[in-house]
Structure 1
Amino acid sequence: MPKTPEPALQQADPSRWKALVFIALAQLMVVLDATIVNIALPSAQQDLGISDGNRQWVITAYALAFGGLLLFGGRIADLWGRKNAFIVGLIGFAVASALGGAATGEAMMLGARALQGAFGALLAPAALSLLAVMFTDAKERAKAFGIYGAIAGGGGAVGLILGGFLTEYLNWRWTFFVNIPFAVVAAVGAYLVIREPAGSRNRSPLDIPGVLLSTAGLVALVYGFTRAESDGWTDGVTVGLFVASVLLLGAFVVTEKLVKSPLLPLRVLLERNRGGVYLSLGLAVIAMFGLFLFLTYYLQVVEGYSPVKTGFAFLPMIAGMITGSTQIGARLMTRVPPRLLMGPGFLLAATGMLMLTQLEVGSSYTTLILPAQLLLGLGMGTAFMPAMSLATHGVDPADAGVASAMVNTSQQVGGAIGTALLNTIAASATTAYLTSHATEAAAGGPAAQLVQAQAMVHGYSSAIWWAVGILAVSAVIALTLINTGRPQTGPAAGADPDAADAEVKIPVVAH
């Protein structure tokens, strides 16, 4: 009799595919929100009277709350129950979106964005860990994470299209209101469909010092990179934020070694394969964020595309990501080791990025930008899919939420670094180009305008070269650090014995 619960845990959840629909819908909403507001920002700024100096806070408030609270949100999901955290996160996100859409001034807008980030930090790790514990079969998990990976990778570009449509044909407020139906449908569906596996919660006491130190450290780190973009790397406050971040996160690591029930058990972070995923994925996101930024500016500012046309111009990348994730990654994940998908995937993406270093004023979309995007999408989709699945492979289900949160954290920090670092490189290269072509720039007329455009494109190209190098480093890390075999071959090499034991009893967790 005592053994009867175990087979039940091993059985696949009959509602798992229905649950995937609602989890994917929630993920799409969160990813959309990262880019959809960017398109609407100029209109919102004008309507609400937000100053140029404070404009960045519409983006930064969300990023700081989301990035800073992710580990806490993941731990709350483990403690409180992933289904509960998921539904509360969705409802909170919908309320925050309604406040943002109804904003009457700067303070209300910034508060709504911070609230969105906070509930997003609860929602995202809960969604990932729910998928992880619901899909027990390796092949089915590959398909599920293939779909999830395609949404996570391509949703940002969909946000550009939707944001363009809503801003151009309705009103910027609809870029917030559009989240409400997504959230309501996902929350109702989750309530009715999702059945969280029994015995997978982590009921140990909450590590309050760890929460405070990790949140403060991550906020300081993300804000440091945000300030570096606007105020420079040598700005006193920027340097102070980076120093504070190092001290706070260092104290967090020490605390996690000493406390009985750590917020982030260091075994989750230091296991070779998971560490390789967090590092390679974070670096790849640096490159991708830079590309979105530069390609958007190139198409709109240099080539004169409308917001809607710019969004549609990203469709080849979305198609590539969906194909790479669902047709290549998902099909091969159970047949080859993850590193043989991630390494070549990052290299293929680097090849697409390399093509974009040839951008010039008037470059052909059909012969340069389109094929480059296809390669980028195929490569990133192929790499992201096994990375997400492997990120919490072998982790005890009780740690599923916080392990999933680590993937989100690496992506969020990578995004902040990518935007600041690559934008700084591009700006420096643009300035250097203008200095060396000062005579033509001073001449005025069409010739000066051409030099300005050429300088911008030169800056983008210079930064994209760095992105190529970063993707190549991601590939090297994936090929050298990640050494686990195919999912069927058992726990990852070097995984904790406890985690390996947990795999036998409870579904393998994957992000």
Structure 2
Amino acid sequence: MSFPKLAALVVLSASALMTILDGSIVTVAMPAIQRDLGFAPAQLSWTVNAYLIAFGGLLLLAGRAGDLIGRRTVFIAGNVVFTGASVLAGLATGPGWLIAARFLQGVGSALATAVVLGILVTVFPEGRERATAIGVFSSTGAAGASIGQVLGGVLTDMLSWHWIFFINVPIGVVTVAAALRVLPRDRGIGMRAGADVLGAVLVTGGLMLGIYTVVGIADHGWASARTLILAAVSVALLAGFVFRQSRARTPLLPLRIFRSRTVVGANLIQMLALSGMFGFQIMVALFMQKVLGYGATATGLAMLPAAVAIGGVSLLLSARLSTRFGPRVVLVTGLVLLAGALALLTRLPVHAGYLTDLLPTMVLIAGGGLVLPALATLGMSAAGAADAGLAGGLFNTTQQIGMALGVAVLSTVAAGRTAAATAAGATALEALTSGYRAAFTVATGLLAAALVVTLVLLGRRGSGSAADAPVAADAGAADAEHAGAALATGVETVAGSATPAADDGEAAHARL
């Protein structure tokens, strides 16, 4: 690998690391933030929700913007916004200030994240080099998550929570400066090729409102008037967007991309799988802190084997196995491992031992290193050269929807079961454990559902084949290229984008 390519890979990985660190660090700092800034319990979750709404709502638009005006431009702009917002967050003196800064961080993350796949394709056009780059980039996610959880506890305990945001500043400044020098210039296809303003307003409004509705379910309930009304408006906006795309001369999201059963299936499976994986991301950390009494730093260290397992599998095995057996076989294998990992947690005792009750799950969770890259390959299989940013934005958007739904479902299940156990006379620790076990059971079911959808919808051909994938306007050889590059999304999804949502789950459980 030449030095310019290596430098570009470092820049892309540094940007991903910055986003991932921010998400995982915030998780352990929330109690300190609440004490310092005077957040009410219901308010605290908005330090996460504001980020999640902006990030999830803007990914599709950001991906298309990269196709139109240039991915390098959008990537640099996203990192500038994220770095500036991190300064504002670190200087926050009140709840409103911090929430606004977190929203801006979400905007910056959406811009930078949505175009990374397209840039990676441009920098690494050859198969062997690309496989190496993909592995390195994917493993950044696992490393960032584990580093963030440990570093968050250390910074908060030794300095203050302000430094969990300030730490992004030097990384961001170096990333932007290096990106200006080493990332390839691209002009994009031009605003005339896809400046669908009305479509952008409809989809961004619909997604933001939809995620806002979902993250509020834990507090307001599934059947509340607020939830039902907001959900109906969100669905109406998204339906209007679909109608608009079928009529627009330059659609923001060409509907041809949905002609591929593989792409549709991959995005559906992703929503189910990521919803279920929150059983690990959120509930295990909460169980260790609230039931076993682990501190923030100890929790991060306890989760480290899982991050290493996911990163190791993604870096060393995933690409080789996909090349030999196909992404469908790899996906099925990974889903079986993940379902088994979470099934073990459905029997957790109140006084669980780390080595006997938790470590086996940390090992089996390595299946995530197979599932996520395979899903990325399938989800990008219909992307032609002009639509790479769009397909990446769509794939990341369904990630956020899955994560938000996972938070809402698992938090509600755990809280409901805990309340029922308390009413039945269980002790506080017994009731909490019962709630977490119920959440693990639902999470296992979601992964089982993802496995069934994989077997039924993707069929035996597996994925991304020429018979199914080439649906974009200029697909052909570019399809295989972008499908392979999509592996880079891998661990970043779980370790990074998923982490902010985990904060929301913790906030939802704070009252228990």
Q: Is the shorter-chain TM-score for this pair beyond 0.5, marking a shared fold?
A: yes
Question: In 1, Cα distance between the equivalents of 2:162 and 2:284?
Answer: 25
Matched with 1:399 is 387
The equivalent of 1:48 in structure 2 is 37
Amino acid at match of 1:292: Q
CA–CA distance in structure 2, aligned partners of residues 82 and 226 of structure 1 = 30
Q: Distance in 2 between matches of 1:212 and 1:198?
A: 24
TM-score normalised to structure 2 length: 0.89
Structure 1 residues 87-131: Cα deviation after superposition (integer angstroms, max 9, x where no partner) = 111111000000000112222111111111111111101112211
Look up the match of 2:329.
Answer: 340
Gaps of at least 5 residues in structure 1 are 1-11, 442-450
Q: Out of 127, 134, 146, which is 1:145 matched to?
A: 134
Are the equivalent residues in 2 in contact too, given 1:342–1:383 (CA < 8 A)?
yes
Q: Distance in 2 between matches of 1:256 and 1:236?
A: 30
- Counterparts in 2 of 1:219 and 1:263: CA distance versus 1, 3 Å: same
Task: Please tell me whether Structure 1 or Structure 2 has the larger radius of gyration of its CA atoms.
Answer: 1
In structure 2, do the counterparts of structure 1 residues 79 and 205 end up closer, same or farther at CA, with 3 Å as the change threshold?
same
In the alignment of these two chains, the number of paired residues is 486
Aligned pair 1:319/2:295, yes or no? no
Equivalent position to 1:432, from 414, 420, 439: 420
Mapped to 2, the partners of 1:466 and 1:223 lie a distance apart of: 22
User: Does the 8 Å contact 1:49/1:105 carry over to 2?
Assistant: yes
Name which of 468, 476, 479 aligns with 1:493.
468
Give the letter for the 2:88 counterpart. L
Asked whether the equivalents of residues 222 and 413 of structure 1 are also in contact (C-alpha less than 8 Å), the reply is yes
> 1:188-199 maps to which residues of 2 (within 5 A)?
188-196=177-185
> Conserved in 2, the CA contact under 8 Å of 1:99 and 1:112?
yes
- For 1:71 and 1:39, how far apart are their aligned partners in 2? 29
| Residue number in structure 2 paired with 1:452 | 428
Q: Which amino acid aligns with 1:331?
A: R
Deviation of 1:502 (Å):
5.2
Give me the whole-angstrom Cα distance separating, in 2, the residues matched to 1:430 and 1:200: 54
Q: Distance in 1 between matches of 2:94 and 2:473?
A: 52
1:58–1:343 Cα change, 3 Å: same
Please, what TM-score do these two structures have when normalized by structure 1? 0.89
More divergent stretch after superposition (460-469 vs 274-283) = 274-283
Q: Following superposition of structure 1 onto structure 2, how do residues 151-230 of structure 1 map, counting pairs within 5 Å?
A: 151-152=140-141, 155-196=144-185, 204-230=193-219
2:16 counterpart (27, 37, 62): 27
Deviations 1:247-304 (A, max 9, x none): 1111111111110111111222442222222111222111122322211111111111
Q: State the alpha-carbon separation in 2 of the partners of residues 386 and 93 from structure 1.
A: 29
Task: Compare relative contact order (CA 8 Å, sep 6+) and give the higher one, 1 or 2.
Answer: 2
2-structure distance, mates of 1:25, 1:201: 28
> CA separation in 2, counterparts of 1:474 and 1:147?
27
SS of corresponding position for 1:118: helix
Change (3 A) 1:468 1:67: same
* CA-to-aligned-CA distance 1:488-511 (integer Å, 9 cap, x gap): x96462422744335289876732
The CA distance in 2 between the partners of 1:505 and 1:431, in whole Å, is: 50
Contact conserved, 1:78 with 1:202, CA < 8 A, in 2?
A: no
Other-structure match for 1:447: none
SS in 1 for 2:223: coil
- Rate the CA distance shift 1:481–1:208 in 2: closer, same or farther, 3 A: same
Residue type at the aligned position of 2:36: D
Q: How far did 1:336 drift?
A: 1.7
C-alpha distance in 1, partners of 2:318/2:309?
Answer: 12
Cα distance in structure 1, aligned partners of 2:412 and 2:4:
48
CA distance in 1, matches of 2:189, 2:6: 20
Q: Judge conservation of contact 1:134–1:197 (CA < 8 Å) in 2.
A: no
Deviation at 1:484, TM superposition (A): 9.0
The equivalent of 2:503 in structure 1 is: none
2:318 is aligned to 329
Query: For residue 92 of structure 2, what is the amino acid of its counterpart?
Result: A
Aligned to 1:71, the other structure's residue is in SS state helix
Offset of 1:341 from its aligned partner? 0.5
Matches within 5 A, 1:76-95: 76-95=65-84
For the pair 1:379 / 2:367, whether they are aligned, the reply is: yes
- Residue 118 (structure 1) aligns with: 107
**Is residue 138–residue 334 contact of structure 1 (8 Å, CA) maintained in 2?**
no
For residues 225 and 400 of structure 1, the distance between their equivalents in structure 2, rounded to whole angstroms, comes to 28
- Once the two structures are superposed, what CA deviation does each residue of 1:336-365 show, in whole Å capped at 9, x if it has no partner? 211010111011111111111111111110
Deviation at 1:40, TM superposition (A): 1.3
- Provide the rounded CA distance (Å) in 2 between the counterparts of 1:400 and 1:57: 32
Instruction: Give the secondary structure class of the aligned counterpart of 2:446.
Output: helix
Instruction: Tell me, in whole angstroms, the C-alpha distance in 1 between the residues paired with 2:209 and 2:360.
Output: 39
Match runs of 1:277-426 below 5 Å: 277-376=266-365, 378-426=366-414
